[in-house]
Amino acid sequence: MQHLVKGLNEQQLAAATHINGPLMIVAGAGSGKTKVLTTRIAYLMANGIDAFNILALTFTNKAAHEMKERIGKMLGSNEARNLYVGTFHSVFARILRAEAHQLGYPNSFTIYDSDDARSVIKTVVNELNLDDKHYKPNIVNSRISALKNALIGPADYLNNRAAQEEDTRANRPAIGQIYQSYAARCFKNGAMDFDDLLLKMHELLKNFPPVLHKYQHKFKYIMIDEYQDTNPVQYEITKLLAAANENICVVGDDAQSIYSFRGATIENILQFQKDYEDVKVVKLEQNYRSTKSILHVANHVIKNNTGQIAKDLWTDNAGGEKIKLVRTMTDNEEGKFVADTIKEQKLRNHYTNKDFAILYRTNSQSRAFEESLRRMGIAYKIFGGLSFYQRKEVKDFIAYLRVIANTRDEEALKRIINYPVRGIGKTTIERAVIVANEQNITLWEVFSAAGAYGFKASTLESITNFVTMIRYFQTMLTDKNASDVAVQVGKHTGLVKELFADKSVEGLARYENVQELMNSIKEWTESPDSEDGEVNDKSLGAYLQQITLLTDADNDKEDSDVVKMMTIHGAKGLEFPVVFVGGVEESIFPSGMSINTREELEEERRLFYVAVTRAKTKLWLSFANSRYRFGNLVQNEPSRFLDEMPEDYIDRSYAGGGARNQGGFSNMGTAFERTQRGFGGEAAQAERRYGPPPAKKTQAPAAGTNKPSYMPPPKQAPVVSHTPSGDFVPSDT
Task: List residues with catalytic annotation.
Answer: 33-34, 225-226, 256, 614
Which of 22, 28, 263, 573 lies at the binding interface for Mg ion (CB under 5 A)? 573
Which of 289, 296, 336, 677 lies at the binding interface for ligand ATP (CB under 6 A)? 289
In this structure, are strands 191-193 and 576-581 parallel, antiparallel, or unpaired?
unpaired
For Mg ion, give the closer residue by CB, 187 or 383: 383
* 330 labelled binding-site residue: no
29 binds ligand ATP per the rule CB under 6 A: yes
* 583 labelled binding-site residue: no
Backbone angles phi, psi at 135, to 5 degrees: -90, 70
Q: Which stretch binds Mg ion (CB under 5 A): 12-20, 334-342, 571-579, 580-588?
A: 571-579
* 33 labelled binding-site residue: yes
With both helix axes pointing from N to C terminus, report the angle between 598-612 and 292-302 in degrees, rounded to the nearest 10: 180
User: For the residues of 714-732, what is the DSSP string, one character each?
Assistant: PSSS---SPPTT---S-TT
d(CA 625, CA 632): 13
Q: Which listed option, Mg ion, ligand ATP, none, makes contact with residue 166 (CB within 5 to 8 Å by class)?
A: none
Which stretches of 476-580 are DSSP H helices?
482-492, 495-501, 505-526, 540-552
d(CA 234, CA 246): 16
CA 158 distance to own-chain centroid: 33
Cβ neighbors of 182 (< 8 A, separation 6 or more) are 120, 121, 124, 140, 144, 154
d(CA 55, CA 187): 28
Which of 4, 5, 11, 12 lies at the binding interface for ligand ATP (CB under 6 A)? 12
Cβ burial of 48 (10 Å; 0-12, 13-18, 19+) is exposed
Please compute, for residue 298, the number of CA atoms within 13 A of its CA located in the half-sphere on the CB side.
30
Q: Work out the number of other CB atoms within 10 angstroms of the CB of residue 709.
A: 12
Strand partners, 360: 567
Provide the minimum distance between the beta carbon of 255 and Mg ion in the complex, in angstroms, as a whole number.
Answer: 13
Q: Which listed option, Mg ion, ligand ATP, none, makes contact with residue 202 (CB within 5 to 8 Å by class)?
A: none
Q: Which listed option, Mg ion, ligand ATP, none, makes contact with residue 53 (CB within 5 to 8 Å by class)?
A: none
Which of 34, 332, 483, 635 lies at the binding interface for Mg ion (CB under 5 A)? 34
143 binds ligand ATP per the rule CB under 6 A: no
What is the 3 state secondary structure string of 147-166? HHHCCCCHHHHHHCHHHHHH
* 414 labelled binding-site residue: no
**Number of DSSP helices (H) and strands (E) in the chain, helices first:** 30, 18
Q: Which stretch binds Mg ion (CB under 5 A): 25-33, 121-129, 462-470, 528-536?
A: 25-33
For Mg ion, give the closer residue by CB, 15 or 496: 15
d(CA 650, CA 636): 21
For Mg ion, give the closer residue by CB, 417 or 571: 571
For Mg ion, give the closer residue by CB, 233 or 284: 284
User: For the residues of 287-350, what is the DSSP string, one character each?
Assistant: E-SS-HHHHHHHHHHHTTSTTPPP---EE-S---PPEEEEEEEEHHHHHHHHHHHHHHHHHHH-
Contact 205, 240 (CB under 8 A): yes
Count how many residues are written for the chain.
733
In this structure, are strands 615-629 and 632-634 parallel, antiparallel, or unpaired?
antiparallel
Q: Which listed option, ligand ATP, Mg ion, none, makes contact with residue 480 (CB within 5 to 8 Å by class)?
A: none
Q: Which listed option, Mg ion, ligand ATP, none, makes contact with residue 288 (CB within 5 to 8 Å by class)?
A: ligand ATP
Task: Build a one-symbol-per-residue string for 704-733: x at contacts with ligand ATP by CB under 6 A, - elsewhere.
Answer: ------------------------------
For ligand ATP, give the closer residue by CB, 253 or 586: 253
Provide the minimum distance between the beta carbon of 574 and ligand ATP in the complex, in angstroms, as a whole number.
Answer: 7
* 346 labelled binding-site residue: no
Instruction: Pick out residues in 554-593 that bind ligand ATP (CB under 6 A).
Output: 573, 575
For ligand ATP, give the closer residue by CB, 66 or 498: 66
Instruction: Pick out residues in 30-89 that bind ligand ATP (CB under 6 A).
Output: 30-35
311 binds ligand ATP per the rule CB under 6 A: no
Q: Which listed option, ligand ATP, Mg ion, none, makes contact with residue 591 (CB within 5 to 8 Å by class)?
A: none
288 binds ligand ATP per the rule CB under 6 A: yes
Q: Which stretch binds ligand ATP (CB under 6 A): 28-36, 301-309, 347-355, 654-662?
A: 28-36
253 binds ligand ATP per the rule CB under 6 A: yes
Provide the minimum distance between the beta carbon of 575 and Mg ion in the complex, in angstroms, as a whole number.
Answer: 9
For ligand ATP, give the closer residue by CB, 12 or 291: 12
Provide the minimum distance between the beta carbon of 33 and Mg ion in the complex, in angstroms, as a whole number.
Answer: 5
Provide the minimum distance between the beta carbon of 316 and Mg ion in the complex, in angstroms, as a whole number.
Answer: 19
Q: Which listed option, ligand ATP, Mg ion, none, makes contact with residue 152 (CB within 5 to 8 Å by class)?
A: none
Sign of CA dihedral 715, 717, 720, 722: negative
Provide the minimum distance between the beta carbon of 424 and ligand ATP in the complex, in angstroms, as a whole number.
Answer: 51
Task: Build a one-symbol-per-residue string for 613-632: x at contacts with ligand ATP by CB under 6 A, - elsewhere.
Answer: x-------------------
Contact 194, 141 (CB under 8 A): no
Which DSSP letter does residue 278 get? T
* 34 labelled binding-site residue: yes
Provide the minimum distance between the beta carbon of 35 and ligand ATP in the complex, in angstroms, as a whole number.
Answer: 3
- Residue 645: name the closest of 635, 634, 655 by CA: 655
Q: Where on the chain is the footprint of ligand ATP (CB under 6 A)? A: 7-9, 12, 27, 29-35, 253, 256, 288-289, 573, 575, 613
User: Residues annotated in the binding site, as ranges?
Assistant: 27-34
User: Residues annotated in the binding site for ATP, as ranges?
Assistant: 27-34
